[in-house]
Amino acid sequence: MSIERLASRDQAVMAILKTSEEVNQLKDVDTILDKILYESRQLSGADAGSIFLVENDTLIFSYVQNDTLFCKETTNAALYQNFGIPISEQSIVGYVAKTRQSLAIDDAYELDPTLPFSFNKSFDEKSGYRTTSMLTIPLIAQESRLVGVMQLINAKNEMGKIGPFSEEARTYIPLFCNNASVAIERGIMNRELILRMMQMAELRDPSETGPHVQRVGAYSAEIYETWASRRNHSPKAIKHVRDNIRLAAMLHDVGKVGISDTILKKPAKLTDEEFDAMKWHTIFGARLFKNQTSELDRMSMEIALCHHEKWEGRGYPGVPNADVWNDELILGGEPKKREIIPLAARICAVADVYDALASPRSYKDPFPDEKCLGILEKDSGTHFDPEIVEIFFEIFPVIKAIREKWTDNETV
């Protein structure tokens, strides 16, 4: 419901409080940005919007929604675009970041030439979009830290006609953004914490682990979203699970912390004995989530334990969830099969193997895409849930966009 249609100031404040509370329940930064942008657009009637986050004095493009341009698939590929804008007075977002004041513009093409910034038309020229009104808001968290900038574009009235942003939107959205900024900071921190854990656990080499972990998390979130949309799950339910799977999938190999360096970093094929030792990373990982106090813990446990199980069996560790805590346990029980393997683990299996194939490892060079996709296709229905492989191929443009965002030589 847009703010102008709320009868009173109290109602507007109540709507913002309720939304803030919902934002505070989310954990991953992408899900938080999605929610904040969506709710701000609802409140203001904006057709489109984007969020930039501050990284080393640059505003990094981090999220976008556009009702006119994007159908579902293209939105998701657009999300992973990689570009930054300097914090300087020359651009609108840079100016807002610098002055820390929100700025409403009625027509981006008719800016007063005495203003220090100009509107960059290149995006409109490429896409055919016509940007008219803009409301650009600094995202400021506690201790006046600048987290980023949100830009809302093209306010629509009830008839769908584009006009300036209302007084109410200009007043209330910045208030909502103050709460939102704190949530964004927390979401960034959650991801950074997981990345540090994984750097410690995995190759003990930040340049290799960080991007792999980010990609497996993002692939898994996108695959899940398509899987659940096919089943007509509600958008709210999808976002909730997506939030958890994004982070839980990042933790799939956290149990490698218990594997010795000589095995983990061996620049050659493992012996059978070494590979048996390696299999324990699934159980070590699962044990970290013994005290399951949240759905995130439950899903992290399922993924850590079951990401090497196979659709037709013959995966590992093959132990029932309840036996994970038993130190006497011997690997190689009756492997899990089919839907007994939790959905999140079936998804993560495809995401992880594709990424391992396409990336360099201490024991292998990266494979070209045809070879990676050939292996997924060949092992669909034996190693992998065939529907998950089918979805992977369907959203392959998004998968490629994710790979371009987190390339292997880049630090995170």
Residue 266 binding partner per list ligand SIN, Fe ion, ligand C2E, none, with a CB distance cut-off of 5 to 8 Å that depends on partner kind: ligand C2E
By CB under 6 A, name the one of 325, 363, 393, 396 that touches ligand C2E.
Answer: 363
Q: How far is the CB of 269 from ligand C2E (least distance, A)?
A: 4
User: In this structure, are residues 60 and 378 in contact, taking their beta carbons and an 8 Å threshold?
Assistant: no
Judged by CB under 5 A, which stretch of 104-112, 137-145, 346-354, 391-399 contacts Fe ion? 346-354
Q: Which two tokens stand for residue 303?
A: 């993924």
* Cα–Cα distance for residue pair 367/355, rounded to 1 Å: 10
Which residue from 177, 343, 347, 376 is in contact with ligand SIN, where contact means CB under 6 A? 343
Q: Which of 45, 131, 47, 128 is nearest to 93 (CA)?
A: 131
Stretch that binds ligand C2E, among 1-9, 62-70, 352-360, 391-399 (CB under 6 A): 352-360
Minimum distance, C-beta of residue 203 to ligand C2E, in the bound complex (Å): 8
Binding map of Fe ion across residues 237-276, x = CB under 5 A, - = no contact: ----------------x-----------------------
Would you mind telling me the total number of residues written for the chain in this entry? 412
Helices H / strands E in the chain, number of each: 15, 7
Return the number of the residue (32 or 245) whose C-beta is nearest ligand SIN.
245
Stretch touching Fe ion by CB under 5 A, among 63-71, 137-145, 345-353, 392-400:
345-353
**Residue 361 touches ligand C2E, criterion: CB under 6 A:** yes
In angstroms, the Cα distances linking 135 to 58, 91, 167, 268, 380 are 20, 14, 11, 56, 48
**312 binds ligand SIN, rule: CB under 6 A:** no
**From 203-211, 338-346, 365-373, 393-401, span contacting ligand SIN (CB under 6 A):** 338-346
**Phi/psi at 359 (5° precision):** -115, 160
CA count, 13 A, side-chain hemisphere, 372: 21
Query: Which residues within the stretch 284-303 sit at the binding site for ligand SIN (CB under 6 A)?
Result: 299
CA of 307: how far to CAs of 8, 246, 344, in Å? 52, 14, 8
Binding of residue 344 to ligand SIN (CB under 6 A): yes
- Toward ligand SIN, which CB reaches closer, 264 or 299? 299
CA gap 300, 199 in Å, rounded: 17
Q: Which does 339 bind (CB under 5 to 8 A by kind): Fe ion, ligand C2E, ligand SIN, none?
A: ligand SIN
Residue type, 201: A
> H helices of 79-166, where?
92-99, 122-127
Q: Are 314 and 335 in contact (CB under 8 A)?
A: yes
Shortest spacing between CB 351 and ligand C2E, in angstroms: 10
Separation of alpha carbons 334 and 144, rounded Å: 56
Residue with the two structure tokens 């249609």: 5
Query: Which residues in this chain contact ligand SIN in the complex, by CB under 6 A?
Result: 228, 233, 241, 299, 339, 342-344
Query: Which residues in this chain contact ligand C2E in the complex, by CB under 6 A?
Result: 266, 269-270, 278, 308, 352-353, 356-357, 361-364, 375
